Amino acid sequence: MKAITPLQIYMMSTQFLFSTAIGFFIGPLVLKAGFMSWISVILGSGIGLAMTYLSFRLMQRRPEEFLAHYGMHIVGRWPHYIIFACVLLIHLYMAAFVLRELSDFIIQIYLPGTPEWAVVSLFGLCIARGVRSGPVHFFRSAQGLFLFSVISVFTFPLFVSSEVDTEKLIAFVTDFHPGGIWDGTLISSALFSETAFIVYLIPYFRNKERTFRMVAWSALTAAFVTIANIVATLMLFGSELTANLTYPTLEMIRYIWAGSFLENLDPLLIVFWLFSMLLKIGLFLMMGTLITAHLFGLKDHKPFSYGMAAAMIVLSIAMFESTADIEESTTQSQSILLLLKSSVPLLYLLVDSLRAWKGRKLAGQAD
Amino acid sequence: MALMNRFRNKLRANTALSASKERDGEEAKAEASVDVASRIAYLRKRFSQSSDVAYHNFVTPSGLACALVYIKGMIDLKTVEEKALSVLTCLDPDTPNEDLFSRLFERMQLPIALQSVIHLLKEAERCVLDGEALLLLEGERRMLCLSVSVTKERSIDEPPNESVIRGPREAFVENIETNITLLRRRLRTHRFTLDMMHFGSETHTSVALAYLSGVCKPELVAEAKQRLSNIEIDGVLGASYLEEFIEDNPYSPFPQMQYTERPDVVSAALLEGRFALLVDGTPIAILAPVTLFMLMQSAEDYNQRYIAASWIRIIRFIFMFISVMLPSIYIAITTFHPDIIPERLLMTVSAARENVPFPALLEAFMMELCFEALREASLRIPKAIGQAVSIIGALIIGTAAVQAGIVSAAMVIIVSVTGIASFIIPHYDLGLALRLMRFPIMVLAGAFGLFGIACGVILIYFHLIELRSFGVPYLEPLAPRQAGDLKDVFVRAPWWVMKKYPSHAASGNGLRTHGREWAALKDEEE
């Protein structure tokens, strides 16, 4: 079982973090923090990492067990089932939500007129295939295409460097409004705290002591990639336009003009970004599927993989009416939901620590 | 009806059982006998339908009745006459029988290099069927199996499918012993291990499992033996018969074992800790475990200078991508993303497609299918008319179809480039699998553009990620990453850099090479 290497954890976490960050979060982030979004990303990654570290501490206590199995010994059987049912639903919702965000983006920009269900079903099939292969193969797949994904997202800001307005540079220091920065920090901390997923997969990791170090490196890499894209977008469009564009990164990519051979590189570059999006959605669904299997006391998650993928596809199609609804959800509720999901291990850690403290106290009294 | 069938089957089974019992009884009776006539009678009954089996009865000068049994044409009669018959018929008439038996069965005094004493009639039967000569003597239960078989085999030739510019020109032949000799000449070490097995209830094909002990992981050898031991089949006429039984995922279109006709390739694989299966009657050896990247390596890579070999290997990977993707990308761009290509190129492509009545997907499908048919036809038809087919194909596809407005000139170029690209893949089975993958990706490109292509590639990628060959992941050393093995993946590092054994080989064998130590010493002196 212990077959996921620290390098695979790094590569998966990095792609997991930057995929939605550069795809869908730049607009809402700039809306709140403006040119100071880069500070929000740094602070957010710090907070997210702190939350992940606490999850790591919890998982260090029982490194060979799944939280879904031993959680009931910490908070009690029924509270544990209720909490994990909520966690399962949040994971399923997040998978469906990101899938819907992606399918809307694909349909609007590249496949107008194509039925939503067809696009969602095709990508859902790919995700289901990945989830069915299991965590070990899924993490391995992240390793195989890591370089292509990272190079392609680094290419975005590099190619537009000649088009940027350098006079906007000063705004990265002067556009200071603490309220906005804090709101942006909340958004990015919700995003970066997603790495707390490690707590659900710990028995699969080979070198457990290095897990947090790898996650920290991945957060650093993802923060760097996100900031590079934010800076390039802001210098190209300014804060007002960036905040009001639905897909600012895509608009930036459209500025890329690779000589006389290729007119627009965006469809090609998006192919690689698409794979990191698959990893993101797939990991949400994978955790949902694993939690379901663990709650039912099964060792193998495979019987649930296609069923859960079907539920995700249906939820994704039926959940929202329009892109405006999705945008509203992204800015209003998604961060809270993500923070709530990432806080669950913290709750278990707190209760576990209280129990341990109480146990020690009782033992002291008995002595 | 079902009841009738069951009754019929039971009756058939009972008949077979009683026939088998009867045969066992006869065999036991003949086995117990020291009489040549009764044993010959048993063998005659067993080979009653084989008119090519010869029974040569003769008497020694002392009056001892003897018999030689063999299959005509399969033994060297001259050797038998000179080394067995003349010896036995020129014996001293006073030689006692016991002395003769002792000289023949204990001291092995017949001047034939390979001979063995057998006790059972089943073994005697096998001896005759294997093309050896069986010697029976009156009053002695033991029999002598004389290895005097002779087979007409073709000479060692150049490998027709894996030719190289620099490097050895020897290829395997159909005879397993010759093939083993070809390996022995290259691997002069006690570590070279051969495990002989026989497969096929009717063919009794000899199969050799070859590996270097200490270099090949013992668990890999054990796994190979375990998988092979489970094979039950009536006949094995080629290496591929075994391949399908022992591969990890029999439903995958991708080859999980490598085949080669070159002894140097097999030797190199054994030195890397892999094992080989040599099957009698086929000039092809199969190697395992294998990864996708091993299938992209050619024998030429290791005979050329490493810079040139690396360049060729990169070209090979680019064209592998082209062979799978090019028609799909063309369909996606012309159907969904015309904005990718510059305006002038777009206008040229549009003008070429103006008169074509079919959508790009159908046009590509028709052309690719025609190309596949042409390729298959050129492989199967006699060489003399092969050229004619090529000319007709080129004329029809290249000129007439474009002039008639059925397909566009751009599509002809795309299909031609794809065809050439698929020939660059060194391993035929891999090329075949990739050609197969091209069609579903084309359909996805026609329906969803580049998004469809990405989805198709992702599905294939997940399949490859899961695929294993004898426990070794198919995409190793890329996923899972084995940094040390990357020296021989996209490029071929010089020999003196590849110091360590590959990760799938047994550890603790030290280094393969110590590199260019003299250069380091010279640097230090300077």
The model's confidence at residue A3, banded by pLDDT at 50, 70 and 90, is confident
What is the reported pLDDT for B460?
A: 95
What is the reported pLDDT for B32?
A: 62
Q: Which residue out of B331, B466, B476 would a mutagenesis test of the A interface target, given it has the greatest number of A Cβ atoms within 10 Å?
A: B466
The one-letter amino acid code at B351 reads A
Determine, for residues A111 and B459 on separate chains, whether the beta-carbon distance falls below 8 Å: no
Secondary structure class of B134 (helix, strand, coil)? strand
> Phi, psi (5° rounding) for residue B210?
-110, 140
The verdict on residue A365 lying in a domain is no
The verdict on residue A51 lying in a domain is yes
pLDDT (average), residues B159-173: 89
Calpha distance A242→A31 (Å, rounded): 8
Secondary structure class of B259 (helix, strand, coil)? strand
A340: containing domain: 6-352
Q: What is the CATH number of the domain that holds A222?
A: 1.20.1740.10
Shortest distance, CA B244 to any CA of chain A (angstroms):
23
Contact B207, B278 (CB under 8 A): yes
The model's confidence at residue B17, banded by pLDDT at 50, 70 and 90, is low
What is the reported pLDDT for B12?
A: 61
Q: How many CA atoms lie within 13 A of B200 on its CB side?
A: 16
Tokens, residue B498:
């590849």
> Phi, psi (5° rounding) for residue B255?
-70, 135
- The interface pTM score, or ipTM, of the predicted complex is 0.90
What is the reported pLDDT for A252?
A: 83
Residue B461: list chain A partners with CB under 8 A. Answer: 141, 144-145
**pLDDT over threshold 70, residue A258:** no
| B290 Cβ contact partners less than 8 Å away, ≥ 6 residues apart | B255, B256, B257, B258, B274, B469, B472
Residue A122: list chain B partners with CB under 8 A. Answer: 444, 448, 451-452, 455
**How remote is the C-alpha of B266 from its chain's centroid?**
11
Residue of B nearest to A5 (CA): B480
> Max alpha carbon distance in chain B (Å)?
106
What is the reported pLDDT for A1?
A: 59
Helix or strand (DSSP H, E) at A279? helix A266-295
Which residue of B448, B458, B481 is in closest CB contact with A275? B458
- Helix B428-466 with B306-335: angle, nearest 10 deg: 80
What is the reported pLDDT for A306?
A: 92
Residue A125: list chain B partners with CB under 8 A. Answer: 455, 459
Nearest to B171 by CA among B106, B69, B263: B263
Q: Rg (Cα) of chain A, in Å, rounded?
A: 21
Tokens, residue B133:
């000569």
The model's confidence at residue A262, banded by pLDDT at 50, 70 and 90, is low
Q: Rg (Cα) of chain B, in Å, rounded?
A: 31
Tokens, residue B413:
């170029």
The verdict on residue A69 lying in a domain is yes
Chain mean pLDDT for chain A = 87
pLDDT (average), residues A231-235: 89
Q: Which residue out of A107, A139, A152, A274 would a mutagenesis test of the B interface target, given it has the greatest number of B Cβ atoms within 10 Å?
A: A274
Give the A:B interface size as CB pairs under 8 Å.
91
Calpha distance B114→B84 (Å, rounded): 13
Residue B466: list chain A partners with CB under 8 A. Answer: 133, 137
Please indicate whether residue B416 or residue A160 has the higher confidence score (pLDDT): B416
**pLDDT over threshold 80, residue B422:** yes
Chain A contact present for B495, CB below 8 A: no
DSSP B324-367: HHHHHHHHHHHHT-GGGS-HHHHHHHHHHHTT--S-HHHHHHHH
The model's confidence at residue B18, banded by pLDDT at 50, 70 and 90, is low
B344-381 pLDDT per residue, tens: 888 888 888 888 888 899 999 988 888 888 888 877 77
Q: Is B127 exposed, middle or buried (0-12, 13-18, 19+ CB in 10 A)?
A: buried
The verdict on residue A362 lying in a domain is no
Contact B448, A117 (CB under 8 A): no
What is the reported pLDDT for B4?
A: 56
Please indicate whether residue B274 or residue B32 has the higher confidence score (pLDDT): B274
Nearest to A157 by CA among A236, A96, A40: A236
pLDDT (average), residues A246-257: 79
The verdict on residue A38 lying in a domain is yes
The arrangement of strands across the sheet holding B133-137 comes to B53-59, B65-71, B133-137, B143-146, B115-118
Shortest distance, CA B249 to any CA of chain A (angstroms):
14
Calpha distance B404→B400 (Å, rounded): 6
The one-letter amino acid code at B216 reads C
Calpha distance B185→B120 (Å, rounded): 36
**pLDDT over threshold 70, residue A221:** yes
**pLDDT over threshold 80, residue B390:** no
Contact B409, B417 (CB under 8 A): no
Pick from A23-37, A113-127, B152-166 the range whose average pLDDT is largest: A113-127
What is the reported pLDDT for B352?
A: 83
Nearest to A292 by CA among A304, A282, A284, A307: A304
The verdict on residue A143 lying in a domain is yes
Q: Which residue out of B339, B348, B463, B465 would a mutagenesis test of the A interface target, given it has the greatest number of A Cβ atoms within 10 Å?
A: B465
Determine, for residues A110 and B481 on separate chains, whether the beta-carbon distance falls below 8 Å: no
The model's confidence at residue B461, banded by pLDDT at 50, 70 and 90, is very high
pLDDT (average), residues A126-139: 94
The model's confidence at residue B7, banded by pLDDT at 50, 70 and 90, is low
What is the reported pLDDT for A336?
A: 84
The answer for A 230-269 residues in CB contact with B (under 8 A) is 260-265, 267-268
Say which DSSP state B217 is in: -
Contact A242, A233 (CB under 8 A): yes
What is the reported pLDDT for B403?
A: 82
Question: What is the number of structural domains in chain A?
Answer: 1
Please indicate whether residue B514 or residue B181 has the higher confidence score (pLDDT): B181
Contact A98, A281 (CB under 8 A): yes
Please indicate whether residue A287 or residue B22 has the higher confidence score (pLDDT): A287
**pLDDT over threshold 70, residue B22:** no
Please indicate whether residue A138 or residue A335 has the higher confidence score (pLDDT): A138
The arrangement of strands across the sheet holding B258-260 comes to B192-199, B205-212, B275-279, B285-288, B258-260
Chain mean pLDDT for chain B = 87
Which residue of A110, A130, A268 is in closest CB contact with B336? A110
Contact A190, A338 (CB under 8 A): yes
Q: Which residue out of B337, B462, B476 would a mutagenesis test of the A interface target, given it has the greatest number of A Cβ atoms within 10 Å?
A: B462
What is the reported pLDDT for A119?
A: 95
Query: What b/e readout covers B449-462, taking b as 16+ CB neighbours within 10 angstroms?
Result: bbbbbbbbbbbbbb
**pLDDT over threshold 90, residue A125:** yes
Residue of B nearest to A273 (CA): B454
Q: Left (φ > 0), alpha (ψ -120 to 50) or beta: where does B374 sit? A: alpha
What is the reported pLDDT for A146?
A: 87
pLDDT (average), residues A335-361: 88
Which residue of B451, B462, B465 is in closest CB contact with A110? B451
Residues of chain A with pLDDT > 90: what percent? 44
Calpha distance A350→A83 (Å, rounded): 15
The verdict on residue A367 lying in a domain is no
Calpha distance A329→A327 (Å, rounded): 5
The verdict on residue A264 lying in a domain is yes
* E-state strands within chain A: none
**pLDDT over threshold 90, residue B430:** yes
* DSSP bridge partners of B472: B469
| B508 Cβ contact partners less than 8 Å away, ≥ 6 residues apart | none
The model's confidence at residue A351, banded by pLDDT at 50, 70 and 90, is very high
What is the reported pLDDT for B459?
A: 95
